[in-house]
């Protein structure tokens, strides 16, 4: 939704075909014994040169992990067998394009790592045979790349290894699922004898000290390993308590909130939980967004340790989150300020789920429904992204804006942050299995996930399931919808009303779990907007209880039925809303006539704007255009007319014809399906201006209401305030909030 989809670009389509051929060619090699191009020494040397080049790129700022293309290989499931049921093989047993099911390899890294789309190094087995190892989806959080994963000398197990052809007739082990790899800490009994090193660190406290050193260098993975080693060296209960507390802090740094919580909850609490334990528990609960429990823990901490001033700050913060979660009340100006300042714009706010619930629909799977009647502008959701990949739109050539995720099987290509988003989600699920269902329950088409949540004590995260879920549920998003609006305005030549402004796409993207249950309709009854990584969904009209909430995946355009349906092919449905049905029934010749009349009208409106002449011709063309619609506007909004009526009205207003402007503006809103009472002139004193029925909420409806306000100010001043009130509601719907409405209305 609103992502930069380049699948239909002819060059990309050619690239997809080329890659399909490469995959087919590779299939012919399936089962063949690989023939190494180089001997061991040359393989290592060649790779070390690559590492050097990457380091240089990092140093000169041109480095981007996902630079260029990220190809999605054909999906394969993660290993769901415990290690004890697998049999050991050697590199020499591997065959090309083969998943070696039921087996595992023990390897050791013999080079430093290179970090591109995958984390890579050259690994050896006990026979000294070497091979390229590529680990995908290893980085979860921004800036985490500071710690190497495949350090030289590191031993690991690859479960059910998959030997894949690479470019230039090469090959390497490809690991897509994080659970398919087991890193072996020094001293692990599974490490072959010939690789065993003399361990200087053998007491619990020595391991703990080593862990602390790593922690102080921000090497949190290594610190966790050392603390784990320490716990295996029979520490005293007091020592174990301290080690677990230290490990919980390292887990917090790695955003492994489940593990941090488990460590704290397994430490003795007698006579009372320690100050640190309470504080870390609260941090873990906050990270898991369990704000109510977090508040409870912080209250205990405040009571037991009243001198802890940080706890007071943290409690207030958690209380604010809880209030947002339960009331849906946000300081939106504050959210804007955070989004402007933070990079990435990941805001510290809670999710509010309003009066909506997920239910089965008749024919579109599950959908989101109102659980009570709501009014136009009411908040349905204000949701924090589960994961959000920010791409700076004004960024450097190495920005993620220039990266592409190419799914050869699905024949799709998307530019922007999706490769990063997939990594973030895979790692977040791997590190916090308690959060899994909020992603894995989302729509994933016909993809069949494995039936296992954990193997060998680690979560079985299926990367290909995550990819599929991202493909079908991901939203492209601006830094904020309001910033997007200012950008468009800056470029606008026609003042407020512009055409086609709704067809934007974005390179930043994210997953919002609850919003993902909303189905598409071109004639939708809700709109989404963004501030940083918060998505705001509001009703665009008054909705009865138990109404299915819909918004558009692609804003409806004037390109006709067939072209529009092509945009939904990716999600595997055809839209059957009133707009689509009518376009389909109208037929291409009527739609072509409509487009041609619209072109003529556009020119005439422009002449009228510039010279103030030809109003009658504009009116005649408007009438002819209206004749191309067969159903009333409240059933099928007249998108081809409304914006030009509004532009005409604006020109009338500028030419001091407010009465005519009012007429045209009311007609423009009626064209979108609005039913408005009490707005006509001459004014009937007892009638109030009321919207009886809301129409399609196009981007510029708030502008239309503001023109109406301006026109009323001279001819019916008592209506101006109501018109501005409707402008405010429309603004709130389109931009998510109305705290910044004054800036907009005075533009
Ligand atoms: C983001 S999910 C929406 C929630 C989904 N219906 C579910 O069951 O979880 C997108 C999928 O919903 C279905 N869908 C969305 N809008 C639809 C529509 N207007 N008509 C039919 N199916 C639709 C399609 O299967 C689409 O791939």
672 lies in the same domain as 593: yes
Ligand 1 pocket, residue 47 CB under 6 Å = no
Q: Is residue 66 part of a domain?
A: yes
Q: Is residue 111 part of a domain?
A: yes
How far, in Å, CA of 664 to CA of 648, rounded? 7
CATH number at residue 28: 2.40.50.140
For residue 199, the model assigns a pLDDT of 63
Higher pLDDT, 745 or 109: 109
Q: Are strands 162-166 and 98-99 parallel, antiparallel or unpaired?
A: antiparallel
Q: Which residues make Cβ contacts (< 8 Å) with residue 566, sequence separation at least 6?
A: none
pLDDT of 543 higher than 70? yes
How far, in Å, CA of 626 to CA of 644, rounded? 12
552 lies in the same domain as 607: no
pLDDT of 2 higher than 70? yes
**Which residue's alpha carbon is nearest to atom 15 within ligand 1?**
519
531 lies in the same domain as 678: no
Last residue of a domain, one of 550, 571, 592: 571
Helix (H, G, I), strand (E, B), or coil: what is residue 475?
strand
491 lies in the same domain as 529: yes
pLDDT in tens, 152-204: 999 999 999 999 988 777 899 999 999 999 999 888 899 999 998 766 667 99
Index of the ligand 1 atom closest to the CA of residue 473:
1
Per the structure, the count of domains in the chain is 3
- Determine the distance separating the centroid of ligand 1 and the alpha carbon of 516, expressed in angstroms: 9
Q: Which residues make Cβ contacts (< 8 Å) with residue 644, sequence separation at least 6?
A: 598, 601, 602, 605, 622
676 lies in the same domain as 725: yes
Please give the C-alpha separations between residue 95 and each of 27, 76, 85, 173, 440, in angstroms, as whole numbers: 12, 16, 21, 10, 32
For residue 22, the model assigns a pLDDT of 85
pLDDT in tens, 574-597: 999 999 999 999 998 999 999 999
Structure tokens at 233: 């060296």
pLDDT of 499 higher than 60? no
Helix (H, G, I), strand (E, B), or coil: what is residue 701?
helix
pLDDT of 351 higher than 70? yes
548 lies in the same domain as 583: no
pLDDT in tens, 405-426: 888 888 888 888 999 999 999 9
For residue 147, the model assigns a pLDDT of 81
Tell me the average pLDDT across 515-525: 98
Q: Are strands 690-693 and 675-677 parallel, antiparallel or unpaired?
A: antiparallel
For residue 121, the model assigns a pLDDT of 96
Q: Is residue 223 part of a domain?
A: no
**Which residue's alpha carbon is nearest to atom 22 within ligand 1?**
364
547 lies in the same domain as 657: no
Ligand 1 pocket, residue 575 CB under 6 Å = yes
**145: pLDDT confidence band, cut at 50, 70 and 90?**
low
pLDDT of 393 higher than 90? no
Q: Is residue 710 part of a domain?
A: yes
How far, in Å, CA of 522 to CA of 524, rounded? 5
Q: Is residue 635 part of a domain?
A: yes
Tell me the average pLDDT across 214-222: 94
pLDDT of 487 higher than 80? no
Structure tokens at 221: 């993975």
Ligand 1 pocket, residue 447 CB under 6 Å = no
Q: Is residue 133 part of a domain?
A: yes
650 lies in the same domain as 673: yes
550 lies in the same domain as 531: yes
Summary mean pLDDT of the chain: 91
Q: Is residue 424 part of a domain?
A: yes
Whether the Cβ atoms of residue 231 and residue 240 lie closer than 8 Å to each other = yes
Whether the complex's predicted ipTM is more than 0.85 is answered with yes
Tell me the average pLDDT across 278-291: 98
Index of the ligand 1 atom closest to the CA of residue 520:
16
For residue 397, the model assigns a pLDDT of 59
Higher pLDDT, 744 or 311: 311
CA 3, 7, 10, 12 dihedral sign is positive
Index of the ligand 1 atom closest to the CA of residue 521:
19
pLDDT of 735 higher than 80? yes
**Residue-number span of the structural domain to which 455 is assigned:** 334-571
- Determine the distance separating the centroid of ligand 1 and the alpha carbon of 537, expressed in angstroms: 17
Ligand 1 pocket, residue 521 CB under 6 Å = yes
CATH number at residue 447: 2.170.270.10
**498: pLDDT confidence band, cut at 50, 70 and 90?**
very low
Q: Is residue 591 part of a domain?
A: yes
Strands across the sheet with 412-415, in order? 4-5, 412-415, 404-407, 69-72
- Output b/e per residue, 9-37; b: 16+ Cβ within 10 A: eeebeebbeebeeebeebeebeeeebeee
Last residue of a domain, one of 555, 571, 587: 571
> Where is average pLDDT lowest: 57-66, 117-126, 441-450, 690-699?
57-66
Structure tokens at 698: 């196009």
pLDDT in tens, 684-729: 888 899 999 999 999 999 999 999 999 999 999 999 999 999 999 9
**433: pLDDT confidence band, cut at 50, 70 and 90?**
very high
Highest mean pLDDT among 376-380, 454-458, 483-487: 376-380
How far, in Å, CA of 223 to CA of 240, rounded? 15
623 lies in the same domain as 554: no
Whether the Cβ atoms of residue 439 and residue 466 lie closer than 8 Å to each other = yes
For residue 576, the model assigns a pLDDT of 96
Give, for ligand 1, the residue of 519, 528, 570, 572 to mutate: max count of ligand atoms closer than 8 Å to Cβ.
Answer: 519
**494: pLDDT confidence band, cut at 50, 70 and 90?**
very low
505 lies in the same domain as 434: yes
Ligand 1 pocket, residue 570 CB under 6 Å = no
CATH number at residue 647: 1.25.40
- Output b/e per residue, 727-742; b: 16+ Cβ within 10 A: bbbbbbbbbbbbbbbe
Last residue of a domain, one of 546, 571, 596: 571
477 lies in the same domain as 583: no
- Least Cα distance to 631 among 602, 592, 671 occurs for 671
For residue 491, the model assigns a pLDDT of 38
Whether the Cβ atoms of residue 688 and residue 631 lie closer than 8 Å to each other = no
For residue 717, the model assigns a pLDDT of 95
How far, in Å, CA of 571 to CA of 552, rounded? 13
pTM: 0.94
């Amino acid at each position: 939704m609103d992502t930069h989809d380049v699948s239909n670009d002819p060059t990309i389509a050619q690239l997809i075909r080329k890659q399909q051929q490469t995959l087919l060619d590779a299939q012919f090699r399936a089962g063949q014994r690989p023939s190494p191009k180089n001997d061991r020494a040359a393989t290592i040397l060649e790779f070390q040169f690559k590492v050097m080049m990457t380091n240089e790129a990092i140093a000169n700022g041109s480095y981007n992990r996902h630079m260029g293309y990220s190809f999605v290989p054909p999906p394969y499931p993660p290993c769901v067998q415990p290690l004890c049921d697998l049999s050991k093989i050697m590199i020499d047993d591997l065959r090309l394009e083969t998943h070696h099911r039921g087996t595992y390899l023990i390897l050791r890294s013999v080079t430093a790592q290179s970090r591109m789309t995958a984390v890579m190094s050259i690994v050896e087995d006990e026979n000294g045979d070497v091979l390229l190892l590529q680990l995908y989806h290893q980085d979860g959080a921004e800036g985490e790349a500071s710690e190497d994963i495949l350090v030289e000398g590191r031993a690991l197990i690859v479960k059910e290894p998959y030997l894949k052809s690479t470019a230039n007739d090469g090959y390497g082990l490809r690991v897509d699922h994080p659970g398919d790899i087991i890193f072996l800490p020094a001293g692990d009994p599974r490490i072959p004898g010939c690789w065993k090193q003399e361990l200087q660190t053998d007491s619990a406290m020595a391991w703990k000290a080593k862990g602390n050193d790593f922690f102080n260098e921000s090497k949190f993975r290594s610190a966790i390993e050392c603390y784990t080693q320490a716990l295996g060296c029979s520490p005293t209960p007091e020592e174990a308590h301290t080690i677990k507390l230290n490990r919980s802090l390292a887990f917090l740094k790695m955003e492994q909130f489940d593990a941090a919580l488990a460590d704290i909850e397994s430490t003795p609490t007698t006579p009372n939980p320690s100050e640190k334990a309470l504080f870390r528990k609260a941090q873990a609960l906050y990270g898991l967004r369990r704000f109510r429990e977090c508040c409870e823990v912080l209250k205990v901490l405040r009571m037991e340790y009243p001198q802890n001033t940080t706890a007071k700050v943290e409690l207030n913060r958690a209380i604010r989150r809880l209030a947002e979660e339960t009331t849906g009340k946000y300081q939106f100006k504050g959210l804007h300020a955070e989004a402007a300042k933070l990079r990435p714009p990941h805001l510290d706010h809670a999710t509010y789920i309003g009066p909506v619930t997920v239910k089965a629909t008749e024919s579109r799977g599950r959908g989101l429904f109102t659980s009570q009647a709501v009014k136009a502008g009411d908040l349905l959701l204000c949701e924090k992204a589960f994961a959000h990949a920010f791409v700076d739109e004004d960024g450097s050539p190495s920005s993620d804006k220039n990266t592409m995720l190419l799914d050869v099987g699905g024949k799709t290509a998307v530019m922007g942050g999706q490769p990063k988003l997939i990594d973030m989600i895979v790692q977040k699920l791997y590190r916090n299995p308690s959060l899994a269902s909020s992603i894995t329950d989302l729509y994933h088409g016909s993809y069949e996930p494995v039936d296992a949540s954990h193997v060998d004590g680690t979560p079985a995260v299926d990367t290909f399931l995550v990819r599929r879920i991202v493909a079908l549920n991901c939203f492209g998003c601006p830094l904020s919808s309001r910033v997007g609006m200012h950008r468009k305005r800056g470029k606008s030549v026609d003042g407020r009303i512009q055409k086609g402004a709704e067809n934007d796409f974005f390179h930043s993207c994210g997953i919002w779990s609850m919003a993902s249950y909303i189905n598409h309709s071109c004639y939708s009854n809700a709109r989404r907007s963004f501030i940083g990584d918060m998505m705001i969904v509001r009703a665009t009209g008054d909705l009865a209880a138990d109404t299915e909430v819909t918004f558009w995946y692609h804003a409806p355009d004037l390109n006709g039925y067939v072209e529009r349906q092509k945009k939904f092919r990716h999600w595997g449905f055809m839209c059957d809303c009133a707009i689509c049905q009518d376009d389909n029934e109208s037929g291409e010749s009527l739609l072509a006539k409509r487009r041609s009349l619209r072109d003529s009208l556009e020119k005439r409106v422009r002449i009228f704007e510039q010279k103030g002449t030809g109003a009658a011709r504009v009116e005649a063309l408007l009438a002819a255009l209206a004749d191309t619609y067969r159903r009333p506007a409240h059933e099928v909004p007249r998108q081809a007319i409304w914006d030009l009526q509004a532009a005409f009205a604006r020109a009338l207003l500028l030419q001091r014809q407010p009465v005519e402007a009012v007429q045209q503006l009311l007609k423009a809103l009626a064209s979108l399906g609005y039913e408005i009472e009490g707005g006509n002139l001459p004014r009937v004193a007892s009638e109030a201006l009321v919207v009886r029925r809301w129409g399609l909420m196009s981007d510029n409806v708030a502008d239309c209401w503001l023109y109406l306000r301006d026109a009323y100010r001279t001819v019916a001043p008592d209506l101006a305030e109501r018109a501005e009130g409707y402008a405010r509601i429309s603004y709130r719907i389109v931009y998510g909030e109305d705290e910044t409405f004054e800036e907009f209305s005075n533009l």
